[in-house]
Chain A
Amino acid sequence: MSDELFEQALQVELVKRIDAVSSYTEEDFGRISGMEWMVFLLLGLLIPCVAVWWAA
């Protein structure tokens, strides 16, 4: 019985949380701009790739 109650509460909680999470906007978590992405990919992918090419 208690497990059934928990299951019901879980489904109600799921719906509540889906509604809450769906209402979040990009700004709520700090949007990463296109320029920032470019810098990140340059530092994170291009430089390691060049380093690997150089050491080969």
Chain B
Amino acid sequence: MVGGVTIEERIREEALFGRLPLLKEEREYSTRGIISTGFTYAVAAWCFLIGGYSANVVGAVQGIVTLVCGCTIGVIMSAAASALACNRYGLEQIDYTKSCYGQRGARLILLFYIINQIGWTGMILVMFGKGVTNVAAGLGYDGGENLVRLCVLAGLVVGYWVINKGVHVLNVFNSIVFPGLLIVTGFLYWAIFKSADWATICAQPPIDPQDPGLNYILSFEYGLGAGFSWWPGIGFLTRNTDTQRNSLYPQVLTMGFGMGVVCCTGLLAGLVFRSYDPTVWMIQVGGPLFGVLSLLLVAIANVSASAMMMYTAALALRHIGALRALPWGKLTLLGFIPVLAYVIMPSRLYDGGSAFLAYNATMFAPISAVLLVDYFLLRRGRINVSQVFEDAPEGHYWFWHGFNLPALFCAFFGMGLYIWLLNPVTYAAHGPVRFLTASGPATVLPMLLYAILAYLFLVGKSGGYRDTLDALPLRKSNL
């Protein structure tokens, strides 16, 4: 027994929230459980922000179609391979990606995983700071940029405290936040349609359109980016589901379609009240009382969500050998350091949020595409679990010095292709992006290329594609 906790309890904790494969009898989510958890994740404060970005570039009808369809497609593409594999083998997401990208190559993918978590954490903490600043301004106090900075810092401190108290504190936060956000979403829809009828909303032009031929594509990419943003969280949830169907369909319904619908609140409110920023339009929609109450709830939701993301980011850092032995307090602190950039220049990074949103599609569309080919086409939906934890060069997933070079090449090729087609920062567009989108070619071409390269250089030669699936003794465990 250590500090009042038995070794059995620590192992159980390691299975639920760490890297040990989760057994069938330990899975907690049946259909109802995963649907309610999925909605808890999907109805998040950033949905209002994502909808606002679309309001910048398109009108109501185009915005609704692109957000709902983009979120749905993004979640299907990012969930299909990961959800089924993580469910069947009870594996954590990055552990599963080792079968495709290699033991060391998966750490490169981990980098994108952590960028996603840190980026969203910073964004929603600035949103929290801006919300508080706007509430203070409504009460006659102009805190300006410094108040935003102070709030981001305070959010980080609370988040750090929460994740060091344990995941149970997060569950308490979420039990308050989810019903509250659901009520806020319903209230916002009611208030929007009270302010303007459907014909008036449809007649509203976009707030800040870019290139006329590109606006629609940008909004679709925002929807796809929102869907692909779930890639890091998929394994964490689906390893805990009881069937293959429950690992896939509820995610599409909740984090895909459901999230798209909630994003539309931000879109419609943005169009009617002429601001992409929810911390501005929420007070206009709800008035001084309900607007401030909604903002306060969103603020709590943002701190809760940021703590959750930093929790999973810290768990992911355990994949790096040098960090594995660090005490939990220091490991989590390490994850918080890059978020300090949002304390230094909050508004600048917040205003570039739409670029970050599109960048999620840039990162995860090709990564998911290669995983799909590897798991379904090359491995026929089966991996050797023992080899996921094998760190010796003789292991199946060692490839070349721990890297599956064709897979990594195809993923990076896809990212480069996306940026060439549509630069998410400058909006510079090339090639057929106006007809094919950027995510489309950045998904399909890496899939085709990887299938060819894998048959030429991998299958039957390296990567354990035709080797036994029976558990093998571990030479050097990576846990």
Interface residues of A (CB under 8 A from B): 2-3, 5-6, 9-11, 13-15, 17-22, 24, 26, 28-32, 40, 44-45, 48-49, 51-52, 54-56
Contact = CB atoms under 8 A, between A and B. Distances in A.
Contacts of B68: 48
A52 B21 contact: no
A52 B69 contact: yes
Interface string B61-99: 110011011101100100000001001111000000000
16 contacts: A5-B7, A10-B14, A10-B479, A18-B385, A24-B24, A29-B243, A29-B244, A30-B244, A32-B84, A40-B248, A52-B66, A52-B70, A54-B65, A55-B61, A55-B66, A56-B62
Given A17-B23, A21-B89, A9 B65 contact: no
Nearest to B27: A29
Given A22-B470, A29-B87, A49-B73, 11 more contacts: A13-B15, A18-B386, A18-B474, A21-B89, A29-B243, A30-B244, A31-B244, A40-B248, A45-B73, A51-B69, A55-B66
Nearest to B383: A22
B245 interface: yes
Nearest to A2: B2
A3 to B, nearest CB: 8
B245 A30 contact: yes
Interface residues of B, number: 47
A29 B470 CA distance: 18
**Dominant secondary structure at the B interface:** helix
B11 A29 contact: no
Interface string B372-404: 000000000100111001000000000000000
Contacts of B243: 29-30
A13 B252 CA distance: 33
A15 to B, nearest CB: 7
B364 interface: no
A18 B247 CA distance: 20
Given A6-B7, A21-B90, A52-B65, A13 B20 contact: yes
A15 B474 contact: yes
A11 B479 CA distance: 8
B242 interface: yes
Interface of B: 1-2, 7, 10-11, 14-15, 20-21, 23-24, 61-62, 65-66, 68-70, 72-73, 76, 84, 87-90, 216, 220, 242-245, 247-249, 252, 381, 384-386, 389, 469-471, 474, 477, 479
Contact of B7 (A9, A18, A20): A9
A22 B385 contact: yes
Contact of A55 (B23, B62, B245): B62
A42 to B, nearest CB: 12
A29 B242 contact: yes
Given A6-B10, A29-B243, A22 B69 contact: no
B73 A19 contact: no
B69 A32 contact: no
A32 B376 CA distance: 13
A23 B363 CA distance: 34
Contacts of B14: 10, 13
A50 to B, nearest CB: 9
Contacts of A20: 21, 23
B252 A44 contact: yes
A52 B389 CA distance: 42
A55 B21 CA distance: 44
Contact of B65 (A18, A26, A55): A55
Contact of A32 (B72, B73, B245): B245
Contacts of A26: 88, 381
Most buried by B among A18, A24, A40, A51: A18
A53 B397 CA distance: 40
Given A24-B88, A30-B245, A44-B252, A49 B76 contact: no
A2 B5 CA distance: 11
A55 B66 CA distance: 8
B61 A22 contact: no
A10 B470 contact: no
Contacts of B381: 26
B65 A29 contact: no
B471 A22 contact: yes
A21 B384 CA distance: 10
B272 to A, nearest CB: 20
Nearest to A1: B2
Nearest to A28: B24
